[in-house]
Amino acid sequence: MEEQLQARAGSSNLQSLTVAEARMWYDKPSDPAYPRMPLDLRWESAQVLSDEERDYVVVPIVESLMVFDGDYQGYRRLVISKQADGEPTGRIVELVLKEQVRPASEVDTLARDVYRRHIDGGWYTDTSLNGLVAFYNKDNLFISGKGYVDGVATEDAWLNFTLESETPYGESQRLSCFKMVIHMTTSATDVMVIPVCYVYGGSENPGGYGGVGSNPGGQNPGGYPSGGAGSGSGGTPVNSGGGGFGGNASVTQIIVDPTILNDPKANCIYNKIANNNNFNLLLNNFRNTTNYNVRFALGNVSPFTGTTRWNYNTRTAEVTIDASALSYQHAIWGAVTFFHEAFHANLQQHAISTFSNFELTTWPKPINDMTLQELVASVDASAAKDQAWSTATHNFMANHIQIMADGLREFVQNNYPQTYAQIGNNPEAYKALAFMGLEGSREWTAMSAVDQQRYRNFMNDFVTVERHDCL
């Protein structure tokens, strides 16, 4: 049957649904632990889109994004349908796409299509999509997201926001402009920064965001928790190694570049972790000979938040923290980047000192080193050759995540006492924090969606109590 866009009271297909039924489902209270932030839903403009199986009620959300850079457009729709048992269900569909403005009817249809594929357990494919597709429950809690390149769903993605400015808008509204950061993670964490503005009614701040230069406390401008933020990432297997865990050679010098020393925030974070027991454990095992160095610098490595690249000429693991990413991250999340890249430097040096390269498939067998044995074993048989090193190191780091989790617990305890008082010594919380940047690892993907969201909530908890930068 030909699909139709029509505002009507049901249909003759298997799962009919009226706008009134959809609204009744939406208005029903859900989890009291998550107070619902009000949405400006335009029920009077709701449409019913039908296919052979069911009706889909598509409701416009007024606080759709207004993007001023000319490249991206943002749209939000509440889409509701019936399940096989006849009970309604629904999602908020968020689209941030690099394109010209779509007519409202096309947005309705696209939101329906991506939602339909989502509830069937997959991701929608359309060659016109470039950007982000994300889903939230009716309480505006983030569920999942994907980055899209030429219509192909590629990487897990989520959003964070930093408030840039607020100005009056009309008689009783305000225009709030944010730096929207799309994080897309597989074996590394990419970051896309897009300026966006929302119009809010009244004077109450619905977002609960932090100040400029820090993460907004895990809330986006709509006031609902976002998915967290990926911190450091490894680079490509050719240019970035991982460094070794418990290596057999040494880093004779830990070099701090002037770009770190001259940046107050980067220098503050580094000084606080320089005496961190577990941070040093990632490096101190390699001080006994004169063969290798590690260098920490600040630079532009976008779309990564951090990279570790091996310099064969100077025998140095060159860690570069992205200056732009660090500027808007909370200092706790910035510390995760340093830990993550130090672990990469560790694994990188270990591989170089043993086999002089990162080509795992060329290493002679048997390998009489437990760390390197595990690196090789952690590569999936299906992994592309050019992803083998990155896949192996991130799987290894996730499997040995406790060294980072313990180090981050020490960092929070020593520098953010109110945050530590609230979170306490909960080992799961610090493990979740250490997983930032490892969302493409086998350990992460083996988690249930519920556990992944629980970990993302932990990540956000670290930036909601003390929102000041590194002091």
pLDDT 10s digits, 243-277: 334 443 444 478 889 999 999 999 999 999 988 98
Mean pLDDT of 110-118: 93
Q: Is 458 helix (H, G, I), strand (E, B) or coil?
A: helix
Question: Helices then strands (H, E): number in the chain?
Answer: 14, 15
Q: pTM for the whole thing?
A: 0.50
d(CA 460, CA 215): 9
**pLDDT above 50 (res 434):** yes
If one compares 423 and 239, the residue with the highest pLDDT of the two is 423
**Residue 86, class by beta-carbon neighbours within 10 Å (0-12 exposed, 13-18 middle, 19+ buried)?**
exposed
Give the alpha-carbon dihedral of 216, 40, 84, 19, to 10 degrees. 180
The model's confidence at residue 286, banded by pLDDT at 50, 70 and 90, is low
pLDDT 10s digits, 124-173: 988 778 888 888 888 777 677 888 888 888 777 655 555 566 666 556 55
Give the closest residue to 450 by CA, choosing from 229, 167, 141. Answer: 141
d(CA 41, CA 373): 55
Identity (one letter) of the amino acid at 431? K
CA 127 to mean position of chain CA atoms:
24
**pLDDT above 90 (res 56):** yes
Residue 166: predicted pLDDT: 64
**Residue 169, class by beta-carbon neighbours within 10 Å (0-12 exposed, 13-18 middle, 19+ buried)?**
middle
Residue 355: predicted pLDDT: 66
Evaluate whether 185 touches 174 at the Cβ level (below 8 Å): no
d(CA 134, CA 128): 16
Residue 203: predicted pLDDT: 31
**pLDDT above 60 (res 419):** yes
The position carrying tokens 């350990």 is 443
Residue 381: predicted pLDDT: 41
Evaluate whether 16 touches 57 at the Cβ level (below 8 Å): no
**pLDDT above 80 (res 234):** no
Other Cβ atoms within 10 Å of 435 Cβ, number: 28
Residue 29: predicted pLDDT: 75
The model's confidence at residue 199, banded by pLDDT at 50, 70 and 90, is low
Residue 85: predicted pLDDT: 85
**Residue 368, class by beta-carbon neighbours within 10 Å (0-12 exposed, 13-18 middle, 19+ buried)?**
exposed
Mean pLDDT of 324-347: 89
| Side-chain half-sphere CA neighbours of 147 within 13 A | 17
